[in-house]
Structure 1
Amino acid sequence: MSQDDPRSAYEQVADDLRKKIASGVLKAGQKLDGNAKMAEHYGVAAMTIRHALDILRSERLIVSQQGRGTFVASDPVGTDSAERDGNMVDELSEIKAALELINSRLDRLEGQVRERP
């Protein structure tokens, strides 16, 4: 974990695991190491690992099975990649439209301020 990173240790761990899942380093169905082993690997407390895994569990990237362990979800986001890409494009289009509206309003407000005596 980086001391220079402003994020908490559990956020850094969650982000690292998230990246490994997204890149395929950790594959769907793969069992994750136990909390103690991950804590040792990352140099953090087991509670930090539990918190990071709670985040990934809430994002449906991993699943835990009582007595068996924690696994990468078989379909981490619940959709196929084409649908995910389409959803992402739609979301980015909405963000772009919102930014254009904000810029338009900002331009109008700046014009009104300049017109004031």
Structure 2
Amino acid sequence: MTVSPDDPRSAYAQVADDLRRRIATGVVKAGQRLDGNAKLAEQYGVAAMTVRHALDILRDEGLIVSQQGRGTFVANDPPGEEASPRDQQMADELTEIKAALELINSRLDRLEHQVRDRA
């Protein structure tokens, strides 16, 4: 895959998205070493700095890890594979809060219509 100048996303976002997709689909597996920055830059047709920026994004997302002198590897337990009990509890709480907010918003809408109708 080479970066497309017609794509509205930045070059580093295109590289990050492609690598993210390759990790998610198992083309690049957990624990597998990624090619070096120079080789990735050549594959994508971009500067090494662009690849570095893309890898920084994936590292921040927890999808890859870098080891000094060894290289960059796909994380052994990428986020989203298995939620911890605490993560599941937070997700459940967020779902409940979202439902409560939707109810509050519908009540507010109803009250606003009633006030408007009386005016």
TM-score range, shorter chain: 0.7 to 0.9
Equivalent residues in 2 for 1:1-20 (5 A)? 1-20=3-22
SS across alignment from 1:26: coil
Query: What is the CA–CA distance in structure 1 between the aligned matches of 2:48 and 2:39, rounded to whole Å?
Result: 9
Q: Which residue of 1 aligns with 2:102?
A: 100
Query: What is the CA–CA distance in structure 2 between the aligned matches of 1:24 and 1:57, rounded to whole Å?
Result: 17
Q: Which residue of 1 aligns with 2:53?
A: 51
Gaps of 5+ in 2: none
Larger Rg: 2
Count of aligned pairs between the two proteins: 114
Displacement of 1:103: 4.7
> Structure 1 residues 89 and 46, CA, compared in 2 at 3 Å: closer, same or farther?
same
CA RMSD of aligned residues (A): 2.9
Q: Which residue of 2 aligns with 1:27?
A: 29
**Deviations 1:15-64, CA, capped at 9 Å, x for gaps:** 11111111111101100001111111111111000000011111111111
Alignment match of 2:42 (pick from 40, 43, 54): 40
> Structure 1 residues 93 and 10, CA, compared in 2 at 3 Å: closer, same or farther?
same
Query: What is the CA–CA distance in structure 1 between the aligned matches of 2:118 and 2:105, rounded to whole Å?
Result: 20
Query: What is the CA–CA distance in structure 2 between the aligned matches of 1:43 and 1:106, rounded to whole Å?
Result: 53
Q: Structure 1 vs Structure 2: percent identity of aligned residues?
A: 76
